[in-house]
Structure 1
Amino acid sequence: MTDTPARLLNLLSLLQTPREWPGSELAERLRVSPRTIRRDIDRLRDLGYPVEASRGAIGGYRLVAGAAMPPLLLDDEEAVAIAVGLRAGAGHAIEGVEEAAVRALAKLEQVLPSRLRHRVATLQNATIPLTRGDGATVTPATLTTLAAAVTAHERLRFGYRAGDGTQTKRQVEPYRLVSTGHRWYLVAYDLTREDWRTFRVDRVADPFATGARFTPRELPPGGAARLLSHSTSGRQAELDVDVTFEAPAEFVTARLPAHLVPSPTGPDTCRLSARSADSVEWLALRLALVDCEFTVHGPDALASYVSALAARLTRAAPAQG
Structure 2
Amino acid sequence: EGIGESSVRALAKLEQVLPNRLRRRVGALGAFTVPMLHGQDASVVDPGLLTELAAACRDAERLRFAYRTHGGESSRRTVEPHRLVCTERRWYLVAWDLEREDWRTFRADRITPTPPHGPRFVPRPPPAEDLAAYVSQGVAVSAYAARAVILLRAPVAEAAQRISPSAGVLEAVDADTCRLTTGAPDLTVLVIHVLMMGIDFEVIEPPELTDLMRDARERLTRALDGP
TM-score (norm 2): 0.50
User: Relative contact order: is structure 1 or structure 2 higher (C-alpha 8 Å, sep ≥ 6)?
Assistant: 2
Q: Which has the greater radius of gyration?
A: 1
**TM-score normalised to the size of structure 1?**
0.39
